[in-house]
Amino acid sequence: MTPERRPQSQVFGEDPDLYARHRDGYAPLIHAVLAALTPGRAAIEIGPGTGLATTDLLAAGFRVTALEPSAPMAAALRAGVADRHLVVHEHRFEDHRAEPASVDLVAAFQSWHWVDPAAGWPHAARLLRPGGVLGLCWHHPDPVEPGLRARLDSHYARLAPGLTAREPGAKGRDVDAPDGPARAVARRWFDPPVVVEIPGRRILDAEAYVGLLATQSDHRLLAADRRAELLAALADTVRSNDDPDAGPGRVTLGTTTRLVALRRSFAPPPA
């Protein structure tokens, strides 16, 4: 199988340690809000990876059934999080079988976009008790400084011109737009969302910046030699950068962590 034809949703498991080192965790407020909104503590977590959010869900008192389709990621989660209230299954959310109306929380941290929307929304509505919560959370990156962005883009133009996702993170994950297609589906079974936004900032050196990029699925799909050449060029550019806030050889990466929490209404469950 060529690198470009690997399933994009599975490439994170190629290097779980890299993922655990460079990916952001989540502000305590996110889990506090979910705990406050949720009537009970039976939770499903979709695509937990190495457990960046799992440990906080457990600390908030949830009993977590983690659904991780990547076997290496599931192994890393089991090895890194030992808790009697954690059960790990190696399959997709769409394939998970449980009693209807048996779950208080379905949570997805940086993972709902990998769920088949045609199956995901009704399946969440089927599993959640009335009053239960579907919590969808993403880190939204801010653009880096325009001058640095232009220098970084010159390497993409030369080495990976077809790669458009060039920031560490993903934009456009808003499922609550009033006229958006996701919201139109969600309102069949969910009340209007509660939205929480938390700004954040990381200061990264060259190795940390390209390490974060190396966990992005778009970058991982590049052939290994091309990816290594691109990341080396990007790292050299960051090393020569003089960030007025972060200092020489660093880059300031702003993010907004956005939680969209939708309460399961009392509408009849999907067939």
pTM of the full predicted structure?
0.92
Q: Is residue 57 part of a domain?
A: yes
Region 87-112: mean pLDDT is 97
Q: What single string gives the DSSP state of each residue in the chain?
A: --GGGS-GGGGGGG-HHHHHHHS----HHHHHHHHHH-SS-EEEEE--TTTTTHHHHHHTT-EEEEE---HHHHHHHHHH---TTEEEE-S-GGG----TT-EEEEEEES-GGGS-HHHHHHHHHHHEEEEEEEEEEEEEEPPPPHHHHHHHHHHHHHH-TT----SSS--------TTSHHHHHHTTTBPPPEEEEEEEEEEEEHHHHHHHHTTSHHHHTS-HHHHHHHHHHHHHHHHT-EETTTEETEEEEEEEEEEEEEEB-SSPPP-
Banded model confidence at residue 171, pLDDT cuts 50, 70, 90: low
185: containing domain? 3-263
Q: Is residue 270 part of a domain?
A: no
pLDDT in tens, 2-58: 444 667 767 877 889 999 999 999 999 999 999 999 999 999 999 999 999 999 999
Domain count, the chain: 1
Q: Is residue 271 part of a domain?
A: no
- CATH number, domain at 84? 3.40.50.150
